[in-house]
């Protein structure tokens, strides 16, 4: 900010100074040249006049060849210190008289009847013919130095220098006064802009000082600020509304989540109690009346117990499923190989006495909730073991493929398979493609798989053919931790 401010002022002042000095120098130079030229002319004129006067006076001395008179006449030049030398030559070119000493003038003068004047180095020389009644008698030689010219030049230098200094001062003062009218409003505008950007205070206004372009600029700036302030207020209002709505929605969600929890707690506690009673009293009845009951009655009692227990299992499964959607998820590095090993270890009993050929390829590392992903593998592997039962040469393959965006894991078996027409039902709650008599289970496993994978941001799908086996796929997005936490917040 400061540099910009200084620059504008400096630029203004420097511009004015340069202009005035340039004008002054040019004008001064022209004046000096003109004056020097006219002064030289005047010098020549004065010396020629003096030479003509001296020549007129010395005609007698020359005519009578009287050196004393001639010397006296030349001695009249003494009061003028600029006179360097003077001499009178006779018709033969001999020196009749010289001033101040004989050596000062050329010893002989070529016979010459004409007049002339010339500048020789630092001197002005005038030859003046001495005439009497039109008859040439000799020549007067006058040599003057140019000290007058030099003095005049020096004076000029002084005057011009003084004029430059003086006018520079005036120009400086003027520039300073003028820049107030330009730089000051600009500076004020810049200051206002800085305050706005620093304090984000859009109520600030620039002070409009003039009705020129700068005033217009300040007004436009203020107009802009008014618009921004209005939008700022609108935005704040909008944000406040949004926040309020988010809070309201969150409260609703929390309430419904709370209700859901209360519901599942009630299912867990209250729904199971009557079932327990049914089974308990059926059991007690069977114990107490075992002797008096016939086989059919005992069978009925067994059916009651069986039904109660199977409903108990359904409720338990439903609870697990509902908990799967509610529990908080961990975010960890997960080695899928470990999960597969663990699943196989847990399911070792189910695979016991079975001849299963396992083909487990190395699996990549991913991020997620290890306990939940463990459940995914447990369900898929358990299914594979279950649905290859009774098949000679059962084969279960587990592998994974990675793309830039996701990891796709596949659990494939060569079991009973399924009809692709019903594949959409596979991942539903309590959906079964085989009867409970054929294969055990409540039909919650794949629903859990889908829910867990969905909570991880992935997809689930399956391929199969009746009698030829099935392949279950799930994908897990490959993502940064940041994306993960974002989605976790949203989930």
Partner 1 sequence: MSELKRVLLAEDSAKDVELTLAALQDSHLVNEVVVARDGAEAWEYLSCTGAHANRPPVAPAVVLLDLKMPKLDGHEVLRRMRADPNLRTVPVVILTSSREERDIAQSYDFGVNAYVVKPVAFSEFISAVKNLGMFWAVLNEPPPASARKAA
Question: With binding defined as CB under 8 A, does residue 466 bind partner 1?
Answer: no
CA distance 193 to 185: 12
User: Which one of residues 64, 119, 265, 300 is an interface residue with partner 1 (CB under 8 A)?
Assistant: 265
Q: Are 416 and 467 in contact (CB under 8 A)?
A: yes
Shortest distance, position 319 Cβ to partner 1, whole Å? 7
Question: With binding defined as CB under 8 A, does residue 272 bind partner 1?
Answer: yes
Shortest distance, position 273 Cβ to partner 1, whole Å? 6
Q: What is the dihedral of CA 22, 27, 30, 31, to 10 degrees?
A: -140
* Residues paired with 477 in a beta bridge: 406
> Comparing C-alpha atoms, which of 96, 108, 95, 104 is closest to residue 145?
104
User: Which one of residues 283, 331, 350, 463 is an interface residue with partner 1 (CB under 8 A)?
Assistant: 283
Q: Pick the stretch among 92-100, 279-287, 410-418, 426-434 that binds partner 1 (CB under 8 A).
A: 279-287
Shortest distance, position 313 Cβ to partner 1, whole Å? 8
Question: With binding defined as CB under 8 A, does residue 273 bind partner 1?
Answer: yes
Shortest distance, position 275 Cβ to partner 1, whole Å? 5
Q: Coil, strand, or helix at residue 469?
A: strand
User: Which one of residues 309, 330, 382, 431 is an interface residue with partner 1 (CB under 8 A)?
Assistant: 309
User: Which one of residues 215, 312, 441, 477 is an interface residue with partner 1 (CB under 8 A)?
Assistant: 312
Q: Pick the stretch among 18-26, 230-238, 272-280, 482-490 that binds partner 1 (CB under 8 A).
A: 272-280
Q: What is the dihedral of CA 378, 411, 459, 433, to 10 degrees?
A: -80
Q: Are 141 and 87 in contact (CB under 8 A)?
A: yes
Q: Pick the stretch among 58-66, 88-96, 267-275, 482-490 that binds partner 1 (CB under 8 A).
A: 267-275
Q: What are phi and psi of 261, to 5 degrees?
A: -65, -45
Q: Which is nearer to partner 1, 280 or 428 (CB)?
A: 280
CB atoms within 10 A of CB 476: 24
Question: With binding defined as CB under 8 A, does residue 156 bind partner 1?
Answer: no
Count, residues near partner 1 per rule CB under 8 A: 23
Q: Coil, strand, or helix at residue 140?
A: strand
Shortest distance, position 427 Cβ to partner 1, whole Å? 24
Q: Which is nearer to partner 1, 244 or 265 (CB)?
A: 265
Question: With binding defined as CB under 8 A, does residue 307 bind partner 1?
Answer: no
Residue 94, CA distances (Å) to 90, 105, 250 in order: 5, 11, 130
Cβ-Cβ contacts under 8 Å for 61 (sequence gap 6 or more):
67, 69, 70, 73, 88, 96, 97
CA distance 80 to 333: 113
Residue 434, CA distances (Å) to 292, 354, 391, 404, 443 in order: 39, 21, 16, 37, 10
Question: With binding defined as CB under 8 A, does residue 440 bind partner 1?
Answer: no
Q: Which is nearer to partner 1, 180 or 272 (CB)?
A: 272
CA distance 111 to 94: 9
Question: With binding defined as CB under 8 A, does residue 319 bind partner 1?
Answer: yes
> Comparing C-alpha atoms, which of 328, 402, 341, 429 is closest to residue 377?
341
Helix segments in 122-212, DSSP class H: 147-199
Q: Which is nearer to partner 1, 186 or 311 (CB)?
A: 311
Q: Which is nearer to partner 1, 316 or 331 (CB)?
A: 316
User: Which one of residues 103, 120, 177, 269 is an interface residue with partner 1 (CB under 8 A)?
Assistant: 269
Instruction: Please state the length of the chain.
Output: 491
Q: Coil, strand, or helix at residue 351?
A: helix
Shortest distance, position 416 Cβ to partner 1, whole Å? 30
Question: With binding defined as CB under 8 A, does residue 317 bind partner 1?
Answer: no
**Tokens found for residue 271:** 């729904």
User: Which one of residues 52, 71, 117, 305 is an interface residue with partner 1 (CB under 8 A)?
Assistant: 305
Q: Which is nearer to partner 1, 277 or 468 (CB)?
A: 277
Question: With binding defined as CB under 8 A, does residue 34 bind partner 1?
Answer: no
User: Which one of residues 112, 122, 276, 290 is an interface residue with partner 1 (CB under 8 A)?
Assistant: 276
Shortest distance, position 372 Cβ to partner 1, whole Å? 15
- At what angle are helices 2-57 and 147-199 packed, to 10 degrees? 170
Task: Give the pairing type, strands 406-413 and 365-368.
Answer: unpaired
Q: Pick the stretch among 112-120, 152-160, 301-309, 353-361 that binds partner 1 (CB under 8 A).
A: 301-309
**Tokens found for residue 433:** 């493609």
Q: Pick the stretch among 201-209, 302-310, 365-373, 396-404 that binds partner 1 (CB under 8 A).
A: 302-310
Residues of this chain that interact with partner 1 (CB under 8 A) are: 265, 268-270, 272-273, 275-277, 279-284, 305, 308-309, 311-313, 316, 319
């Amino acid at each position: 900010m400061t540099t910009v401010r200084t620059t504008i002022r400096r630029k203004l002042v420097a511009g004015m100074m340069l202009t005035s000095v340039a004008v002054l120098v040019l004008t001064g130079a022209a004046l000096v040249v003109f004056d020097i030229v006219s002064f030289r002319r005047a010098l020549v004129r004065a010396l020629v006049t003096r030479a003509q006067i001296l020549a007129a006076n010395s005609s007698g001395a020359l005519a009578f060849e009287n050196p004393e008179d001639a010397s006296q006449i030349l001695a009249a030049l003494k009061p003028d210190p600029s006179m360097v030398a003077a001499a009178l030559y006779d018709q033969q070119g001999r020196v009749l008289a010289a001033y101040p000493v004989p050596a000062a003038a050329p010893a002989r003068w070529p016979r010459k009847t004409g007049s002339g004047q010339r500048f020789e180095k630092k001197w002005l020389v005038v030859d003046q013919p001495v005439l009497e009644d039109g008859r040439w008698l000799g020549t007067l030689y006058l040599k003057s130095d140019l000290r007058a010219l030099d003095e005049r030049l020096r004076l000029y230098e002084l005057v011009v220098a003084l004029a430059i200094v003086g006018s520079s001062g005036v120009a400086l003062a003027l520039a300073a006064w003028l820049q107030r009218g330009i730089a000051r409003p600009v500076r004020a505008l810049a200051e206002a802009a800085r305050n706005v950007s620093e304090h984000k205070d859009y109520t600030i206004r620039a002070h409009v000082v003039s009705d020129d372009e700068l005033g217009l600029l300040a007004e436009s700036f203020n107009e802009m600020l008014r618009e921004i302030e209005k939008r700022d207020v609108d935005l704040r209002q909008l944000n406040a509304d949004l926040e309020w709505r988010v809070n309201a929605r969150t409260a609703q969600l929390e309430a419904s989540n709370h209700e859901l929890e209360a519901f599942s707690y009630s299912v867990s506690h209250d729904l199971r109690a009557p079932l327990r009673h049914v089974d308990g009293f059926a059991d007690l009845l069977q114990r107490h009346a075992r002797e008096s009951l016939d086989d059919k009655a005992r069978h009925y009692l067994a059916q009651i117990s069986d039904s109660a227990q199977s409903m108990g299992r359904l409720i338990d499964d439903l609870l697990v499923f509902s908990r799967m959607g509610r529990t908080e998820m961990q975010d960890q590095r997960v080695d899928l190989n470990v999960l597969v090993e663990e699943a196989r270890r847990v399911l070792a009993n189910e695979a016991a006495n079975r001849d299963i050929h396992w083909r487990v390829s190395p699996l990549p590392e991913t991020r997620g909730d290890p306990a939940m992903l463990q459940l995914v593998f447990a369900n898929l592997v358990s299914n594979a073991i279950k649905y290859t039962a009774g098949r000679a040469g059962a084969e279960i393959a587990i592998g994974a493929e990675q793309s830039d965006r996701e990891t796709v894991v596949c659990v494939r078996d060569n079991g009973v398979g399924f009809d692709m027409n019903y594949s959409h039902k596979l991942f539903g709650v309590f959906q079964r493609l085989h009867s409970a008599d054929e294969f055990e289970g409540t039909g919650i496993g794949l629903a859990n798989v889908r829910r867990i994978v969905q909570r991880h941001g992935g997809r689930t799908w399956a391929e199969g053919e009746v009698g030829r086996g099935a392949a279950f796929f799930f994908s897990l997005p490959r993502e940064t931790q940041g994306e993960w936490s974002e989605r976790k917040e949203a989930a």
